Amino acid sequence: MHVTAIIAAGGRGTRFGAGRPKQLLLIGGRPILERSVTAFLDHPLVHEVVVAMPGELAGDPPAYLRRSLKPLLVVAGGPRRQDSVANAFHAASERADVVVIHDAARPFVSADLIARTITTAGACGAAVAAVPARDTVKRADRDRRSAYDERENDEASSGSLGAEMVVAETLRRETIFLAQTPQAFRPEVLRDALALGVGATDEATLVERTGHRVRIVEGETTNIKITTPKDLVIAEAIAGTAESRTASTFSRAGTGYDLHRLVPGRPLVVGGVTVPSEIGALGHSDADVVCHAITDAILGGACQGDIGQHFPDNDPRWKGASSLDLLTSATQMVADAGFEVGNVDVTVILEVPKLRDHISAMRSAIAAAIGIDRARVSIKAKTNEGLDAIGRGEAVAAHAIAMLRQHE
């Protein structure tokens, strides 16, 4: 499934009052826009990203929007949100099976929420992330008091919304959801919605008007939208919590090593990515040396044995198995034992083919399998300078280290 992500960053931030578009402001030392774009560039389900920005910024985008290992386009936005989205949609690949749209001003969207929204849209045609209302919900109408009462209370009511509005009814809280992004759609559904040409605050509203059903995906309370300067305070707290958690001391380290013979007729799977090659690694599973080395490192750090103990090569259950699945299982084992994976670092040693162009996809695949941020996965590719079996192109090997922290 080919997925295109559109980042709606066309606003100029005039209401925010910062003197520049709010998406360029910093949170935790990083631009809001960079955080939002990176969440999709790093996601293994996303194949390309299109960013819609104000025209003057689209012509000279920030450095972090100029280079990417995935296709990354920057287009000029329009006067309305749907115009910006339409411009990005028209610039996107025609191969897209799902188009996922996200507000640049929501910098804390998780990889899990992105994945669930995309998967639901692929199955149902349209999906919107939304959180259920927690408070009692009131629908209000303007106060119908007499002109005399309004004059009498004019001074008291000045600037007070409560003095001008009264409760019309109390709504059933369980039926109320607060929409977020990402929102994802099959291309034909989004095309019909944008063709309406009417104004709306989000794409799901337009899709509803065309008669398509929009499935709700449970959103996240941390997936806040930066709307007012007060939101920056909350955002800084979220960023600080996440970064302090990542930077906290991890109490265990584990190492892993794996080597496989290279033979004709086998796919070459490295770091969860099938690399074009005339020869591949020989093994009971898919023989992914990177995943196997990381699996051993994670298990070792938690003193939970090794990959051969848990996934023996004489067990038919693991014949041809995806090593990413084995890695996920090992991560769950150490989690059950009270440990959390902090980061992993891998060196893969292979003479040919070169792996440089596949490193980014490998990092994303490994991060998704372990359930950590891509920024905490390092993969380096080396050759053996023509020495021994690896240097002769007869084998591939990998060394890994994993840092773990014991849950409090």
Residue-wise pLDDT tens digits, 71-115: 999 999 999 999 999 999 999 999 999 999 999 999 999 999 999
Count CA within 13 A, CB hemisphere, residue 233. Answer: 3
Give the residue among 323, 322, 324, 408 at the shortest CA–CA distance from 371. 324
Residue 66 DSSP code: T
By residue range, what is the domain housing residue 32? 3-133+176-247
Residues 323, 239 share a domain: no
Quick one: average pLDDT of 182-195?
Answer: 96
Residues 169, 180 share a domain: no
Percent of the chain past pLDDT 90, that is, above it, reads: 71
At 158 the three-state DSSP class reads coil
Residue 57 DSSP code: H
Is the model's pLDDT at 63 over the cut of 90?
Answer: no
Q: What is the pLDDT of residue 159?
A: 47
Q: What is the pLDDT of residue 186?
A: 97
Tell me which of 247, 274, 301 is where a domain ends.
247
pLDDT per residue as tens digits for the range 357-401? 999 999 999 999 999 888 899 999 999 999 999 999 999 999 999
Quick one: average pLDDT of 304-311?
Answer: 94
Residues 154, 127 share a domain: no
Q: What is the pLDDT of residue 20?
A: 75
Percent of the chain past pLDDT 70, that is, above it, reads: 91
Is the model's pLDDT at 148 over the cut of 80?
Answer: no
At 328 the three-state DSSP class reads helix
Count CA within 13 A, CB hemisphere, residue 13. Answer: 21
CATH code of the domain covering residue 371: 3.30.1330.50
> What whole-number distance in Å separates Cα of residue 124 and Cα of residue 385?
52
Tell me which of 195, 213, 247 is where a domain ends.
247
Residues 62, 189 share a domain: yes
64: confidence class by pLDDT, cuts 50, 70, 90: confident
Give the residue among 108, 221, 128 at the shortest CA–CA distance from 182. 128
Residue 396 β-bridge partners: 260
Q: How many helices (H) and strands (E) does the chain have?
A: 15, 18
Residue 375 β-bridge partners: none
Quick one: average pLDDT of 319-334?
Answer: 94
Is the model's pLDDT at 245 over the cut of 60?
Answer: no
> What whole-number distance in Å separates Cα of residue 52 and Cα of residue 89?
10
Residues 105, 50 share a domain: yes
Residues 238, 165 share a domain: no
Q: What is the pLDDT of residue 177?
A: 95
Instruction: Please answer whether residues 37 and 53 qualify as being in contact, where contact means their C-beta atoms are separated by less than 8 angstroms.
Output: no
Residues 257, 341 share a domain: yes
Instruction: Please answer whether residues 331 and 370 qualify as being in contact, where contact means their C-beta atoms are separated by less than 8 angstroms.
Output: yes
Cβ burial of 366 (10 Å; 0-12, 13-18, 19+) is buried
> What whole-number distance in Å separates Cα of residue 125 and Cα of residue 135?
30
* Start-to-end C-alpha separation, the chain: 40
Residues 304, 209 share a domain: no
Report the Cα 1 to chain-centroid distance in Å: 16
Residues 82, 57 share a domain: yes
Give the residue among 408, 407, 350, 352 at the shortest CA–CA distance from 379. 350
Q: What is the pLDDT of residue 18?
A: 62
0.75 cut: is pTM over it? Answer: no
Mean predicted lDDT score pLDDT of the chain: 90
> What whole-number distance in Å separates Cα of residue 332 and Cα of residue 300?
14
Residues 98, 206 share a domain: yes
Q: What is the pLDDT of residue 228?
A: 87
> What whole-number distance in Å separates Cα of residue 151 and Cα of residue 137?
30
> What whole-number distance in Å separates Cα of residue 165 and Cα of residue 143?
5
Is the model's pLDDT at 157 over the cut of 50?
Answer: no
41: confidence class by pLDDT, cuts 50, 70, 90: very high
Amino acid making up residue 307: I
146: confidence class by pLDDT, cuts 50, 70, 90: very low
pLDDT per residue as tens digits for the range 131-142? 999 999 999 998
Q: What is the pLDDT of residue 163?
A: 57
Q: What is the pLDDT of residue 292?
A: 97
Is the model's pLDDT at 19 over the cut of 80?
Answer: no
